[in-house]
Amino acid sequence: MRTLDLIDEAYGLDFYILKTPKEDLCSKFGMDLKRGMLLRLARQDPQLHPEDPERRAAIYDKYKEFAIPEEEAEWVGLTLEEAIEKQRLLEEKDPVPLFKIHVAELIQQLQQQALSEPAVVQKTASGQ
């Protein structure tokens, strides 16, 4: 009954899950729910009421105080073993050097610029 009273005090299960710290939640299922909710908030999931963008915006506005970056939300509620495995997988990925990313972006920008601008051809005087 205590949990039901706490949910009532928080004005619903959603606020209870989002407001309650990990130590008080004491539930892997509760922390999984919290991570799922935080990820959905961080990603601004368009599948939430896809036919009604105003309702979706109202829902995201209602919970905006709980929004955190997606990179942080991915770690919420993981057990030690899950966190270690996640970190190991992150470290295994070969990082792409930033200069390669920027060179590719620059090449793409120059190609788009070349296609969008008309070519200027200057006539040269023959015989000079």
Q: What is the pLDDT of residues 97-119, one digit of tens each?
A: 888 899 999 999 988 887 777 76
Name the helix (H) or strand (E) containing 66.
Answer: none
CB burial class (10 A; 0-12, 13-18, 19+) of residue 13? middle
Identify whether 121 is part of a domain: no
Identify whether 15 is part of a domain: yes
Q: Are residues 109 and 63 in the same domain?
A: no
74 confidence band (pLDDT: 50, 70, 90): very high
Give the type of residue at 39.
L
Domain that holds residue 40: 2-77
Q: Are residues 23 and 67 in the same domain?
A: yes
